Amino acid sequence: MTTKATNYLTHFRNIGIAAHIDAGKTTTTERILFFTGRNRNIGEVHDGAATMDWMEQERERGITITAAATTAKWTRSGTEQEYVVNIIDTPGHVDFTIEVERSMRVLDGAVAVFDSSQGVEPQSETVWRQADRYGVPRIAFSNKMDKTGASFDLVLGDIRERLGAIPAPIQYPMGEESDFKGIIDIVRMQTHTFTNDLGTEITVGEIGDIPEKYAGKVAEMRAMMIEAAAEVDEDVMMKFLEGEEPTPEELIKALRKGTIAQRIFPVLCGSALKNKGVQLLLDAVIDYLPNPLEVPAIVGKVEDSEETVAFPADPDGKLAALAFKIMADPYVGRLTFVRIYSGTMQSGSYVMNASKDKRERVGRLLKMHANSREEVTELKAGELGAVIGLKDSGTGNTLIGDGDDAVLLESIDIPEPVIKLAIEPKTKADQEKMGIGLQKLAEEDPTFRVESDQESGQTTISGMGELHLEILVDRLKREYKVEANVGAPQVAYRETITRATDVEGKFVRQSGGRGQFGHVKIRAEPLEPGSGFVFENAVVGGTIPREYINPAQ
Ligand code: GDP
């Protein structure tokens, strides 16, 4: 419910950009930051200008592994209304699923980015299912419309068939591949034609300007969208049945309702690389994704009882916050990223870490912008930011007011590592330094474990996949100046799935074997024609029936 105290929240959107590696998440995020005015230095992603990729090796590898939150501002096109858009960075690589899950907890909506030339790929499916699990409303961005092989229809079809979701196309591309020249807004029936290379000059045309050759497609898409809207809204349904045209306002209202209920998924198109469609994407974030008052209030569990309490977003309520990311920062030491669900966190105040039963002092508070940090005195319900000064709070910990009754917010499931390597310093004298470095890295990342065998003196590290460990070994070298040799990976589990046709599409939480093992690497091609897929490092949950699984010999 909106009250005077919570009114500001209607202008908040806490979103993530979810995609698998290479779909264009970094480029899209960078362009969003460019258009929201906080990042004027537009550049190629992999030449070192990407703002969200904080760590050196992320840039080199072109993957994003941090889950920082960046605050941006956007004025809804055609209005004077300014919105705060907090972008929570979600990693796309399958080895960092735990990081994706953490960020899913703290966002209210997401933009799912797809590569239009590839459609919905297996990894995009994984990310989509994760968002399903956390009940995250989504809009889809069919990116790379300029690329050879790009097809908006392919993405729409894949969303329906592979993801089993109802797409509501709210746009249609004018031209595809090198011919991609503009976007038709099929809610308002307007054309947006790009007239310069930067994508910043746009000519808006009315219904009569829609080129004749797109008329058939536009009618087809509009029918698909209206049908989706009619499924969730009676007014649109009545008009639909009577053959009347709903107004753009009615359509937006219905689509917004259906999107927030996760029954339908608006689909947009564009080319992040060519800066096309990004402003319209930001408008759609405002139009269709929920503000913090429109998502269910987070629920906390009262300690030592079955009782629960809900914390509706209200700055005057009791403090309830979740720490979702710890980062070592070269300037200020340890940064704890938090989302405030309820109440207000003040700099210089004391809070209780209910997960660890420890009182902690909040030193300074920061809002992170693309190119700057803003020191603030408080963070209010619905806001995200970073705390300097918390010494003991870790990922997934609940922070409440000093002296309040202990409650734990839904915490983050931390999967067991799937892979283990022996590690030793290249120079024997570095043994102790290596131990300290590994320990620090393990504090930041709960899926990274360090063990040492007292008898043999051997140290082992374990994590979520080879790339995960490779990056950590790399950080050990860069940040702690310890070069290390690692042994061959010991894969914790490996299994072959037979009768693959029976299990296709159920790959989300792979199962079998013992315990929780995290996620899976899928070698997508059958071993032999018709024989099934090999899953490496599989297991979790219980989606694949056991009879389909033969542990590899
Ligand atoms: P991420 O791994 O999802 O973060 O993807 P990136 O943003 O790093 O993009 C992966 C690659 O796709 C890079 O080489 C980008 O330049 C390229 N790319 C991103 N967006 C587009 C686009 O709209 N069109 C084309 N043709 N390439 C793109």
Look at 540 and 32; give whichever has higher pLDDT: 32
Rounded-to-integer distance, Cα 372 and Cα 547, Å: 54
Q: pLDDT for 269-308, tens place per residue?
A: 999 999 999 999 999 999 999 999 999 999 999 988 889 9
Strands 138-143 and 265-269: parallel
Distance between CA atoms of 499 and 98, rounded to whole angstroms?
29
Separation between Cα atoms, residue 510 and residue 263, nearest integer Å: 25
The most confident of the ranges 18-27, 87-96, 379-388 is: 379-388
Confidence (pLDDT) at 274: 92
Q: Which two tokens stand for residue 373?
A: 């940090």
Helix, strand, coil abundance in the chain, percent, nearest 5: 30, 30, 40
For β-strands 384-388 and 364-368, DSSP reports them as: antiparallel
Q: Label residue 489 by pLDDT band (50, 70, 90).
A: low
Average pLDDT, the chain: 81
| 486 Cα distance to chain centroid | 31
Instruction: Give residue 507's pLDDT.
Output: 34
- Whether residue 256 contacts residue 287, with contact meaning beta carbons closer than 8 Å, is answered with yes
Sign of CA dihedral 157, 158, 162, 163: negative
Ligand 1 centroid to Cα of residue 31, in Å, is 11
The two three-digit tokens of residue 262, written as one number:
């996760």
Determine the Cα–Cα distance for residues 152 and 485; give it in Å rounded to an integer: 47
**Which range among 107-111, 398-402, 487-491 shows the weakest confidence by mean pLDDT?**
487-491
Region of 539 (left: φ > 0; alpha: ψ -120 to 50; beta: rest) is left
Q: Is 475 in the pocket of ligand 1 (CB under 6 A)?
A: no
Kindly give, in sequence order, each residue whose CB lies less than 8 Å from that of residue 471, ignoring residues fewer than 6 positions away. 57, 61, 65
pLDDT value for 458: 84
Hunting for tokens 């994706």 — which residue is that? 100
Q: What is the pLDDT of residue 505?
A: 32
* Residue 549 token pair: 């699984």
Helix (H) or strand (E) holding 115: strand 109-115
> What is the C-alpha separation between 50 and 198, in angstroms, rounded?
17
More confident residue, 91 or 389: 389
- What was the pLDDT predicted at 98? 64
Other Cβ atoms closer than 10 A to 413? 13
Q: What pLDDT, on a 0 to 100 scale, did the predictor assign at position 103? A: 77
pLDDT at 490: 57
Q: How do residues 437-451 score in pLDDT, each as one tens digit?
A: 998 888 777 788 998
- Asked if pLDDT for residue 254 goes beyond 70, the answer is yes
Residue 24 CA to ligand 1 center (angstroms) comes to: 4
CA of 370 to the centre of ligand 1 (A): 19
Find out whether 476 and 484 touch, Cβ atoms under 8 Å: yes
Give the residue-averaged pLDDT of 251-261.
97
> 126 C-alpha vs ligand 1 centroid, how far in Å?
19
**Cα–ligand 1 centroid distance for 133 (angstroms):** 27
Distance (Å, rounded) from C-alpha 357 to C-alpha 414? 20
Q: Is 90 in the pocket of ligand 1 (CB under 6 A)?
A: no
Bigger pLDDT: 246 vs 519: 246
Q: What is the pLDDT of residue 386?
A: 94
Pocket flag, ligand 1, residue 272 (CB < 6 Å): yes
Give the pairing of strands 109-115 and 12-18. parallel
% of the chain beyond a pLDDT of 70: 79
Q: What percent of the chain has pLDDT over 90?
A: 51
DSSP secondary structure, 197-260, as one string? TTS--EEEE-GGGS-GGGHHHHHHHHHHHHHHHHHH-HHHHHHHHTTPPPPHHHHHHHHHHHHH
Atom of ligand 1 nearest to the CA of 62: 8
Ligand 1 atom with the shortest distance to the CA of 45: 8
DSSP letters for 345-385: EETT-EEEETTTTEEEE--EEEEE-SS-EEEESEEETT-EE
- Centre of ligand 1 from the C-alpha of residue 268, in Å: 17
Give the pLDDT confidence score for residue 145 in this predicted structure: 97
pLDDT at 59 exceeding the cut of 70: no
Check whether 50 has a pLDDT greater than 60.
no
Q: Is 477 left (phi over 0), alpha (psi -120 to 50) or beta?
A: alpha
CA distance 9 to 365: 20
Instruction: Answer for the pair 550, 496: CB distance below 8 angstroms, yes or no.
Output: yes
CA distance 383 to 170: 29
State the residue for tokens 């705060």: 84
pLDDT in tens, 303-326: 888 899 999 999 999 999 999 888
Is 70 exceeded by the pLDDT of residue 485? yes
CA of 481 to the centre of ligand 1 (A): 32
Q: Confidence band (pLDDT; 50, 70, 90) for 196?
A: confident
- Give Cα separations from 437 to 60, 469, 472, 474 (angstroms): 22, 14, 10, 11
Q: pLDDT digit string (tens) for 167-195?
A: 999 999 999 999 999 999 999 999 999 98
pLDDT band at 62 (very low <50, low <70, confident <90, very high): very low
| Residue nearest atom 17 in ligand 1 by C-alpha distance | 24
Burial class (CB in 10 A: 0-12, 13-18, 19+), 436: exposed
| Rounded mean pLDDT, 133-141 | 93
Pocket flag, ligand 1, residue 278 (CB < 6 Å): no
With a 6 Å cutoff on the Cβ, whether 353 touches ligand 1 is no
What's the whole-number mean pLDDT along residues 153-169?
95
* Confidence at residue 412, expressed as pLDDT on a 0 to 100 scale: 57
**Tokens matching residue 414:** 């931390």
Testing ligand 1's pocket by substitution, the residue of 45, 58, 124, 274 carrying the most ligand atoms inside 8 A of its CB is 45
Query: Rounded CA gap, 310 and 321, in Å?
Result: 12
**CA gap 156, 223 in Å, rounded:** 14
Determine the pLDDT at residue 548.
37
User: Which residues contact residue 7 at a Cβ distance below 8 angstroms, ignoring those fewer than 6 apart?
Assistant: none
Q: Does residue 68 line the site of ligand 1, with CB under 6 A?
A: no
User: Of the given ranges (71-80, 196-205, 353-362), which has the lowest mean pLDDT?
Assistant: 196-205
Q: Are 275 and 24 in contact (CB under 8 A)?
A: no
Ligand 1 site, residue 472, Cβ cutoff 6 A: no
Most confident of 85-89, 248-252, 529-533: 248-252
Q: Which residues of 275-287 are buried (b: 16+ CB within 10 A; e: fewer)?
A: bbbbbbbbbbbbb
Determine whether the shortest distance from the Cβ of 23 to ligand 1 is under 6 A: yes
Compute the distance from residue 22 Cα to the ligand 1 centre, in Å: 6
Q: Which of 256-260, 385-389, 457-461, 509-513 has the weakest average pLDDT?
A: 509-513
For the four alpha carbons of 242, 246, 251 and 253, in that order, the dihedral sign comes to negative
470 — pLDDT class (breaks 50, 70, 90): confident
User: Is the CB–ligand 1 distance for residue 21 below 6 Å?
Assistant: yes
Q: Is 19 in the pocket of ligand 1 (CB under 6 A)?
A: yes
Indicate which residue's Cα is closest to atom 9 of ligand 1: 24
